[in-house]
Amino acid sequence: MDHPTLRLLEELISRRSLTPDDAGCQALIAERLATQGFDCHPLPFGPADGVVCNLWAVRSGGREGPTLVLAGHTDVVPTGPLEQWSSDPFVPTHADGQLYGRGAADMKCSLAAMVVAVEEFVAAHPDHAGRIAFLLTSDEEGPSVDGTVKVCDWLAARGERLDACIVGEPTSVERLGDMVKNGRRGSLSGRLTVQGIQGHIAYPDLARNPIHQALPALAELAALRWDEGNDHFPPTSWQVSNAHAGTGATNVIPGSFVLDFNFRFSTESTPEGLQARLEEVLRRHGLEFNIRWTLGGQPFLTRPGRLLGALSGAIREVTGLETELSTTGGTSDGRFIARICPEVVEFGPINASIHKIDEHTAVADLGPLKQIYRRTLEGLLA
């Protein structure tokens, strides 16, 4: 049991930081970092009341070296039905070697381990090489428009140079350290509206059914092979997530058909190319349509190098595992950081319970997780 990490994690879980509320988590972390010589910059963005909290904290060592960023989010997803929880989700609770609470795994566990790892590292290496920085937001589990993306814009405007970044997302699958995310697929969404002519269902010759018109095109889109992927990414996928048409009456041909869809795309495709191919299919089928496109994030990839070498070596030393590199899963704030940082990876605790009722993390993993972060710091900055 790693008591300093456990105590900090319990304090963070106790703060009801439902997105986008930070509930004082970043102030608690900043207070501890300030005692270690960090220059802390609270960065509220968003509405006039600054509802989204962000923090940029940086410490310079005494020698030349890279800037290593430790990134994460203090906000958590809603709890769901409280009566289904075995205990209050904002009261840290121990049972059978697990610590229960919302955010226990995603991702207050990583934040606590990172802070304690840095405290130990700075005590042992006060004149370390380069810089250590924290980039925290309370807008990761929400729309992600006033959080890390805005901080990265702020950093770019200041001319900040970032060299490597570890995002504390829970990436481990069955054992701590068995997987590191060294990239993520891009996300491109669209809302397609196909126009028809509303009419009485008994007189189809006087109407135009947009559902009937769209179905052949949708079948073609679903069968398309968008790319073949590569050694790091699976092939690009296209999925329909929602479809709606009609007035609710059974005797009315709808006047329009609305479809929501999403591409998860590899580095073999571009947003512009995917848009062009999809729209060409719709035009070829003679549809009257419009699409509202939303680019959620570009794909990014960190190839084996100094950062992955240090992190993989630390995992091997602490756990004995040869970690697997993966780009599977959803998006993360790594997609924003990758715009201004050449090496971005994600690593954290076991993710089996994230976003679930009775979210938890193994207490026995807290010490090893902190040690992995610390030894990675030593590998890059000592």
Catalytic positions: 75, 140
Joined tokens for residue 244:
């709606």
E runs forming strands in the chain: 39-42, 54-60, 63-73, 93-95, 98-100, 129-137, 164-167, 179-181, 183-184, 186-195, 199-200, 237-245, 252-253, 256-265, 289-297, 300-301, 324-326, 343-346, 360-362
Q: Is 106 exposed, middle or buried (0-12, 13-18, 19+ CB in 10 A)?
A: buried
Strands 98-100 and 256-265: unpaired
Partner residues linked to 192 by β-bridges: 259, 291
Cβ neighbour number for residue 320 with a 10 Å cutoff: 9
> d(Cα 60, Cα 71) in Å, to the nearest integer?
17
> d(Cα 211, Cα 330) in Å, to the nearest integer?
30
> d(Cα 30, Cα 58) in Å, to the nearest integer?
10
> d(Cα 197, Cα 209) in Å, to the nearest integer?
7
> Coil, strand, or helix at residue 252?
strand
CB 282 within 8 A of CB 248: no
Backbone angles phi, psi at 4, to 5 degrees: -60, -40
* H-helix or E-strand spanning residue 149: helix 148-158
Instruction: Report CA torsion sign: 198, 203, 207, 213.
Output: positive
- The rounded Cα 100 to chain-centroid distance in angstroms is 22
CB 58 within 8 A of CB 39: yes
